[in-house]
Copies of this chain bind each other. A is one copy, B any other.
């Protein structure tokens, strides 16, 4: 059931926007991508998400839906003829939601902590915490995937999307810090999962290249350091 007019307000470098793009790809749904420029907010964005004023916003038949994981669940609810994103079993669905919330609660604050860390000691402490979280997610992968390719089983599901959307920025962090966060030693299953995820048809044209993200990161950093203008 492909239905109505679908627009996505976003920016290609945002993992939260990437989640929605991947979900729409899984459902083979065409949509119009309305790019928000870095550092500015369009009238349409302010009107569509007056509470948070943030991307992504999905606009389906003129009705806006905000918050990436809410949007992914909405897509799964509406485009029912495509492959399911949430597991069909209620318990598996609860577990996927639990871990997706864990990713959202843990990941972004830790990445921010690492970015803001000053001095080698603070950096090492932040990296240690990130690796701890990855080890927890490695264990979650073993339990959720039950020996299959993805958290969601044979194909990409809710938790794959929630966590996998951060892989682009994880690679940036690894490259710029000349270190490994995912590793054969501590997270062997996640290393293989990340490769499979990034090569998947629904994902490969969505996640930005590392070099592109590094460029964007440098622009963001320069802006953060620049004196405020009128």
Interface residues in chain A, defined as those with a beta carbon under 8 Å from any beta carbon in chain B:
51, 60, 63, 65-67, 70-71, 73-74, 77-78, 90-91, 93-95, 97-98, 101-102, 136
Contacts and interface: CB of A to CB of B under 8 A. Distances in A.
Nearest to A52: B102
Contact of A70 (B66, B78, B101): B101
Contacts of A93: 73-74, 77
A98 B67 contact: yes
Copies assembled:
2
A56 to B, nearest CB: 13
A51 to B, nearest CB: 7
Contacts of A67: 97-98, 101
Contact of A73 (B70, B74, B97): B97
Nearest to A79: B90
Contacts of A78: 90
Contact of A63 (B63, B91, B98): B91
Nearest to A89: B77
Given A51-B102, A66-B98, A70-B101, 4 more contacts: A60-B91, A65-B95, A70-B97, A74-B94
